[in-house]
């Protein structure tokens, strides 16, 4: 009778080290990147507040997480929502304002006081006015506007810094097709440089960075 063949020892038992290579790590990295891109284009959008028009709700330099799904699921924005959108005159620029009125409503501003459907709309908790003057409608639409009926597919938006914001009073109603999403929370915040980084220099910019971070703003819930 022939001899029974013996099982061959594995590479580990023969003293050879298993070869893992870089392929598993590359797969993990690609998976994380794909997930990040999926979230970026379908669920959340990172946005940095470029101006002071939403003070004191949002400060210039606040970085927001924007919910891109909420309006796709629940419909058009409601009064009080902080919406992030493409600027109608230049869609490459992204802004944030507060929705005041939506389709089917009538908005009017009389001596800085906002009315929706004939009822006074309370000012947001952190909104402000910085100019005591009341401008007549013949001079500017800042303090007196409307009444304006909101047609289907549009909303009326204002900045919370009411005397220092260019919004629907100046450039018209906002098409809902331009809305990116709803601002949810501040995930990072830093005070912008008064001068351009090129003028300050990279070393001075780096040294000043810790002092510019607004730690108390991080985690602030917008709604």
**Each residue of 174-215: pLDDT tens digit?**
999 999 999 999 999 999 876 554 466 666 667 767 888 999
Of 10, 17, 51, 53, the catalytic one is 53
Q: What are the strands of the beta sheet with 106-110, ordered from one edge?
A: 119-120, 113-116, 106-110, 145-149
pTM: 0.78
- Per-residue b/e over 157-194, b at no fewer than 16 CB within 10 Å? bbbbbbebbebbbeeebbebebbbbbbbbbebbbeeee
Whether residue 53 lies in the annotated active site: yes
Q: Rounded mean pLDDT of 53-79?
A: 94
Q: What is the pLDDT at residue 184?
A: 95
Q: What percent of the chain has pLDDT over 70?
A: 74
Q: Per-residue pLDDT for 110 more than 90?
A: yes
Evaluate if residue 8 carries a pLDDT over 60: no
Mean pLDDT of 62-81: 93
Please tell me the predicted confidence (pLDDT) of residue 215.
94
Domain ranges within the chain, ordered by starting residue: 46-217
pLDDT value at residue 22: 59
Q: Band of the pLDDT at 35, cuts 50, 70, 90?
A: very low
Mean per-residue pLDDT, 161-173: 98
Q: With cut-offs at 50, 70 and 90, classify the pLDDT of residue 33.
A: very low
Where does the pLDDT of residue 27 fall: very low under 50, low under 70, confident under 90, or very high at 90 and above? low
The CATH superfamily holding the domain 46-217 is Umud Fragment, subunit A (2.10.109.10)
Annotated catalytic residue, options 68, 97, 168, 182 = 97
CA gap 153, 180 in Å, rounded: 14
Catalytic residue list contains 10 = no
Residue 36 has pLDDT above 90, yes or no: no
With bands split at pLDDT 50, 70 and 90, how would you rate the model's confidence at 34?
very low
């Amino acid at each position: 009778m022939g001899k029974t063949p013996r099982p061959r020892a594995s590479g580990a038992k023969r003293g050879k080290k298993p070869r893992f290579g870089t392929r598993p790590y590359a797969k993990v990295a690609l998976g994380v990147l794909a997930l990040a891109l999926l979230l970026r284009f379908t669920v959340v959008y990172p946005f940095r507040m470029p101006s002071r028009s939403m003070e004191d709700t949002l400060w210039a330099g606040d970085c927001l997480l924007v919910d891109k799904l909420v309006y796709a699921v629940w419909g058009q924005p409601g009064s009080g929502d902080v919406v992030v959108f493409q600027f109608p005159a230049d869609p490459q620029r992204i802004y944030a304002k507060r929705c005041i009125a939506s389709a089917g409503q009538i908005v009017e501003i009389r001596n800085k006081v906002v009315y929706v459907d004939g009822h006074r709309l309370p000012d947001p908790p952190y909104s402000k006015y910085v100019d005591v003057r009341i401008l007549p409608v013949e001079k500017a639409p800042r303090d007196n506007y409307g009444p304006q009926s909101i047609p289907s597919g549009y909303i009326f938006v204002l900045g919370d810094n009411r005397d220092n914001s260019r919004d629907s009073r100046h450039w018209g109603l906002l098409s809902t097709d331009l809305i990116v999403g709803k601002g949810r929370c501040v995930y990072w915040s830093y005070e912008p440089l008064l001068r351009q980084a090129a003028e300050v220099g990279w070393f001075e910019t780096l040294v000043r960075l810790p002092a510019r971070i607004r730690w108390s703003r991080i985690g602030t819930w917008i709604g």
